[in-house]
Amino acid sequence: MGRKFHIKKGDTVYVNSGESRGQQGRVLNVITKDGKAIVEGVNMVARHTKPNAKHTQGGIIRKEAPVNITNLMLVDPSTGNPTKVGRRVNDENKLVRYSKKTGEEIK
Protein backbone atom coordinates (compact mmCIF):
# COMPACT_ATOMS: atom_id res chain seq x y z
CA MET A 1 0.00 0.00 0.00
CA GLY A 2 1.36 3.44 -0.92
CA ARG A 3 1.94 6.25 1.57
CA LYS A 4 1.81 10.06 1.27
CA PHE A 5 5.21 11.72 1.08
CA HIS A 6 6.48 15.30 1.07
CA ILE A 7 8.23 14.67 -2.25
CA LYS A 8 6.70 14.07 -5.68
CA LYS A 9 8.05 13.10 -9.08
CA GLY A 10 9.61 16.14 -10.78
CA ASP A 11 10.56 17.97 -7.55
CA THR A 12 14.08 19.28 -7.05
CA VAL A 13 15.51 17.82 -3.84
CA TYR A 14 18.61 18.20 -1.65
CA VAL A 15 20.31 15.11 -0.18
CA ASN A 16 20.97 15.77 3.53
CA SER A 17 22.49 12.43 4.51
CA GLY A 18 24.50 9.55 3.13
CA GLU A 19 27.28 9.21 0.58
CA SER A 20 25.66 11.72 -1.81
CA ARG A 21 25.18 14.37 0.91
CA GLY A 22 25.01 17.95 -0.39
CA GLN A 23 23.94 17.02 -3.91
CA GLN A 24 20.78 18.26 -5.59
CA GLY A 25 18.76 16.62 -8.31
CA ARG A 26 15.34 16.11 -9.84
CA VAL A 27 13.16 13.22 -8.63
CA LEU A 28 12.68 10.72 -11.47
CA ASN A 29 10.52 8.21 -9.59
CA VAL A 30 9.05 7.70 -6.11
CA ILE A 31 8.76 4.12 -4.83
CA THR A 32 6.00 4.51 -2.22
CA LYS A 33 6.06 0.84 -1.19
CA ASP A 34 9.69 1.07 -0.02
CA GLY A 35 9.75 4.76 0.96
CA LYS A 36 12.49 5.53 -1.56
CA ALA A 37 13.04 7.85 -4.51
CA ILE A 38 15.31 7.78 -7.54
CA VAL A 39 17.05 11.15 -7.96
CA GLU A 40 18.79 12.22 -11.17
CA GLY A 41 22.59 12.10 -10.82
CA VAL A 42 22.53 11.04 -7.15
CA ASN A 43 23.64 7.70 -5.60
CA MET A 44 25.17 6.41 -8.85
CA VAL A 45 26.00 2.69 -8.98
CA ALA A 46 27.74 0.53 -11.61
CA ARG A 47 25.81 -2.39 -13.08
CA HIS A 48 27.56 -5.12 -15.04
CA THR A 49 25.17 -6.11 -17.83
CA LYS A 50 25.14 -8.63 -20.64
CA PRO A 51 24.39 -7.35 -24.14
CA ASN A 52 20.63 -7.01 -24.73
CA ALA A 53 18.23 -5.09 -26.96
CA LYS A 54 18.55 -1.87 -24.94
CA HIS A 55 22.34 -2.01 -24.46
CA THR A 56 23.75 -3.91 -27.44
CA GLN A 57 27.33 -3.47 -26.23
CA GLY A 58 26.75 -4.62 -22.63
CA GLY A 59 29.52 -3.89 -20.11
CA ILE A 60 29.46 -1.57 -17.09
CA ILE A 61 26.51 0.82 -17.01
CA ARG A 62 26.19 3.63 -14.44
CA LYS A 63 22.69 4.34 -13.15
CA GLU A 64 20.90 5.88 -10.17
CA ALA A 65 20.01 3.74 -7.18
CA PRO A 66 17.07 4.57 -4.87
CA VAL A 67 17.62 6.95 -1.93
CA ASN A 68 15.53 6.78 1.26
CA ILE A 69 12.98 9.61 1.29
CA THR A 70 13.95 10.55 4.86
CA ASN A 71 17.36 11.61 3.47
CA LEU A 72 15.81 14.11 1.05
CA MET A 73 14.59 17.69 1.53
CA LEU A 74 12.55 19.63 -0.99
CA VAL A 75 14.31 22.66 -2.52
CA ASP A 76 12.09 25.76 -2.27
CA PRO A 77 11.47 26.94 -5.87
CA SER A 78 11.40 30.62 -4.87
CA THR A 79 14.63 30.74 -2.80
CA GLY A 80 16.56 27.69 -4.01
CA ASN A 81 17.24 26.57 -0.42
CA PRO A 82 16.20 23.25 1.18
CA THR A 83 13.05 23.51 3.29
CA LYS A 84 10.70 21.40 5.35
CA VAL A 85 7.29 20.79 3.82
CA GLY A 86 3.90 21.20 5.47
CA ARG A 87 0.33 20.61 4.28
CA ARG A 88 -2.63 22.94 4.62
CA VAL A 89 -5.98 23.62 3.02
CA ASN A 90 -5.92 26.58 0.61
CA ASP A 91 -8.70 29.00 -0.39
CA GLU A 92 -10.26 26.49 -2.82
CA ASN A 93 -10.49 23.80 -0.06
CA LYS A 94 -7.64 21.80 -1.60
CA LEU A 95 -4.82 20.23 0.41
CA VAL A 96 -1.55 21.83 -0.80
CA ARG A 97 2.11 21.59 0.15
CA TYR A 98 3.85 24.70 1.46
CA SER A 99 7.36 25.71 2.43
CA LYS A 100 7.83 25.95 6.20
CA LYS A 101 10.65 28.52 5.70
CA THR A 102 8.84 31.02 3.50
CA GLY A 103 5.20 29.96 3.96
CA GLU A 104 4.70 29.96 0.19
CA GLU A 105 2.60 27.34 -1.55
CA ILE A 106 4.49 24.72 -3.60
CA LYS A 107 2.89 23.78 -6.90
For 77-92, how does the pLDDT look when each residue is reduced to its tens digit (9 = 90+)? 889 999 999 999 999 9
Q: What is the DSSP letter of 4?
A: -
Residue 33 belongs to some domain of the structure: yes
Residue 6 counted as domain residue:
no
Q: For the chain, what is the domain count? A: 1
2 pLDDT higher than 90: no
8 A C-beta contact, residue 36 and residue 28: no
Query: For position 55, which CATH number holds?
Result: 2.30.30.30
Alpha carbon distance 37, 7 (integer Å):
9
Q: What would you measure as the largest C-alpha separation in the chain, in angstroms?
A: 55
State which residues form the domain around 78: 12-106
Residue 8 predicted with pLDDT over 80 = yes
Residue 4 CA to chain centroid, in angstroms?
14
Do the domain assignments include residue 49? yes
**Residue 52 located in a structural domain:** yes
Query: Which of helix, strand or coil describes residue 71?
Result: helix
pLDDT digit string (tens) for 43-88? 999 999 999 998 899 899 999 999 999 999 999 988 999 999 999 9
| Model confidence band, residue 36 (pLDDT cutoffs 50, 70, 90) | very high
Count of residues making up the chain:
107
- What pLDDT band is residue 12 in, cutting at 50, 70 and 90? very high
Task: With a cut of 70, say whether residue 1 has pLDDT above it.
Answer: no
DSSP type of residue 14:
E
pLDDT given for residue 3 in this prediction: 75
Is 3 inside any structural domain?
no
CA distance 63 to 53: 17
Report yes or no on 99 lying in a domain: yes
Residue 107's pLDDT is what? 82
Residue 1 counted as domain residue: no
